[in-house]
Structure 1
């Protein structure tokens, strides 16, 4: 068995985790779903229901719990999820269903609850519970607002990842006594400081450089633009050998590349594109400071940082982090203890904060070390799994 995920309890609870965002799919909810499955599997018998995506067989073979896959075709997928959940409720007498999002998973669990009385829990991140008309999918979901409220109000508990998301749920009239914050987490054995960075630094010519890092999808609200502008407002002047390493891909890439040219930063910025999950720790360990000044864009509820797991991944590698005062970021970063929070659109403030950490190695190291300790004691999936089981056991 993998270290850190051995069975520790004789609890006979049987759980189903229902997720349409699950590895080998990448992204925040997919990583969350995988972490929840690992954490709960320490304390109870877990079965995951997820779609067939990519090389799913190879991924499933590495897990310590059973995974049932269905075809990833809308409507058919949901029908098969319902049939599988009902079969497990009848034949395996499952104790509860953990939904990693309210739609469509929570809707399926609502039906199972009405049919068989099986309790269910719903995770809430941020944008998926908020309504807007940005895309066709989100317009459809907005029409289902009453169904969403029904799903959330019939759940045994709703687990927002941050205080920000908790407040949004309260505004939606979800009973406060049903809301318990369950934060995001990481695996401290996957992300840790003892990782060789030689290959990353050699590949990108980073030896002897000050390295600023962002790991995120290239979406507008992640704040890459502000980091680039801050580079020109004092960072390059004070630290000419600084390199900004941008890991990830997304719709803003062309705009960001154009901005790099306009700001004459081509010698100081590297776009790596997408990388493998197993490479992430090497990139985090290569940097001096992790920066992601996420911000809220008016009327863009589809682009909100509900928590920010990449802050935790960087902290787990012993690195200081800088985040924007927006969404649920203040839950991911303890300001002045595990990292620093800034007003993301104030370029001078961001530049000064970056320079502060680049120039004061002892302070930067202290933030990173405290961040690592927080991961080891609180924000890891083993601890989070135990927290969930304690809540379920007490209710």
Structure 2
């Protein structure tokens, strides 16, 4: 099967960006995995760019797809066109000289729920143009159905993670020393709680600092890695905490330090809250933590539901319940940490490596191609 893959926001070749988002990492890893798959041939149209003027670059890239996709189809004769997100799939109705090649998109969450009335009306029209839709979670697939996607067009398939990264993770004691030096911490006799991600309201970091962290009885340090519009509010919540010296907000970090954070952590915290017009499509950071042997305590919301197998790679807590959230953290740290850490790593290696996940993508694409050619 020959796939024409369309994506944006890949970093320039041989010039990796200091930080890229989850969608971009997933897109790059998916392409690599497809290229390694037997009987799969990949053609692509990919925008590779730095963050400078990225919105303007993306606009012109999308406009160029109107004629570049038909030209590429004519030249390479793909069996299916696969868009990396609803952003790139959005140009589908404008493509000139459409052919009978089936068009499939992946979607990730916010590219479905983006709170614009015009965008939401356009989505229902766009779903009619598509031949297949891959959503990264059941919650995201349901959001598509609510916006007009025919259920039989869509499937929920997980993201995967790059197993090569596991070889780059430092040993735990070495990682803890590195983190202590990097962020001027004292982790002696303390457990390390970690959150990684863009600091937006849905992530619930402010809620966790404000309502939950002080209730944890175990001696812990809470490390928050990332940046975003909620950082100031999180900082204000920290200043009100009775344990503010144990809450550390460090911003974005290079891969070496981020890997050390995962390797040093004892529990991964994902305290999401519901936000209208936004959602957690999958939670790739949960897999990144689990692959380092770090189980998660997370809110039982949206795409997180699909990633956490209760008591295997973590626990899901009803959102907005600080007492239960804190109590579960204390219980796991005191009674289950070693076993849960081992099971977390084994679980994601078995079910979420790209070697496993990419076969599910290929199977769905083959079904779409066979259905449309029947």
TM-score, normalised to structure 1, is 0.82
- Post-superposition offset of 1:226: 3.1
Residues 321 and 339, structure 1, Cα contact 8 Å, conserved in 2: yes
Distance 1:388 1:226, change over 3 A: same
- Give the aligned partner of residue 17 of structure 1: 5
CA distance in 1, matches of 2:315, 2:59: 44
CA distance in 2, matches of 1:336, 1:194: 24
**What are the superposed Cα offsets for residues 94-148 of structure 1, whole Å, 9 maximum, x if unpaired?**
2222112223x1133455596222222111222221252xxxxxx3xx3244542
CA distance in 2, matches of 1:87, 1:160: 28
Aligned-residue RMSD, C-alpha: 2.4
CA distance in 2, matches of 1:88, 1:331: 36
More deviation in 312-321 or 174-183? 174-183
TM-score, normalised to structure 2, is 0.86
Residues 187 and 221, structure 2, Cα contact 8 Å, conserved in 1: no
- Give the aligned partner of residue 232 of structure 1: 214
- Give the aligned partner of residue 91 of structure 2: 108
More deviation in 317-326 or 80-89? 80-89
Partner of 2:193: helix, strand, or coil? Answer: strand
**What are the superposed Cα offsets for residues 291-334 of structure 1, whole Å, 9 maximum, x if unpaired?**
0111202xx21x31111111111011111101101111110111
CA distance in 1, matches of 2:90, 2:227: 32
Matched, 1:171 2:146: yes
**What are the superposed Cα offsets for residues 316-359 of structure 1, whole Å, 9 maximum, x if unpaired?**
11111011011111101112221001123111111101111221
Residues 121 and 156, structure 1, Cα contact 8 Å, conserved in 2: yes
CA distance in 2, matches of 1:336, 1:294: 19
Alignment of 1:371-386 (within 5 A): 371-386=344-359
**Residue of 118, 131, 135 corresponding to 1:156:** 131
**Residue of 297, 310, 321 corresponding to 1:346:** 321
Residues 195 and 282, structure 1, Cα contact 8 Å, conserved in 2: yes
Residues 7 and 46, structure 2, Cα contact 8 Å, conserved in 1: yes
In structure 1, the gaps of 5 or more residues are: 1-12, 57-69, 133-138
Residues 295 and 325, structure 1, Cα contact 8 Å, conserved in 2: no
CA distance in 1, matches of 2:8, 2:97: 21
Matched, 1:266 2:244: yes
In structure 2, the gaps of 5 or more residues are: 12-16
Matched, 1:93 2:77: yes
- Post-superposition offset of 1:280: 2.3
Residues 226 and 344, structure 1, Cα contact 8 Å, conserved in 2: no
CA distance in 1, matches of 2:127, 2:10: 21
CA distance in 2, matches of 1:260, 1:246: 11
Residues 113 and 279, structure 2, Cα contact 8 Å, conserved in 1: no
**Residue of 41, 57, 63 corresponding to 1:79:** 63
- Give the aligned partner of residue 14 of structure 2: none
Matched, 1:26 2:20: yes
CA distance in 1, matches of 2:140, 2:269: 22
**What are the superposed Cα offsets for residues 172-194 of structure 1, whole Å, 9 maximum, x if unpaired?**
23121111111112112214695
- Give the aligned partner of residue 45 of structure 1: 41
Matched, 1:246 2:207: no
CA distance in 2, matches of 1:223, 1:348: 15
- Give the aligned partner of residue 29 of structure 2: 35
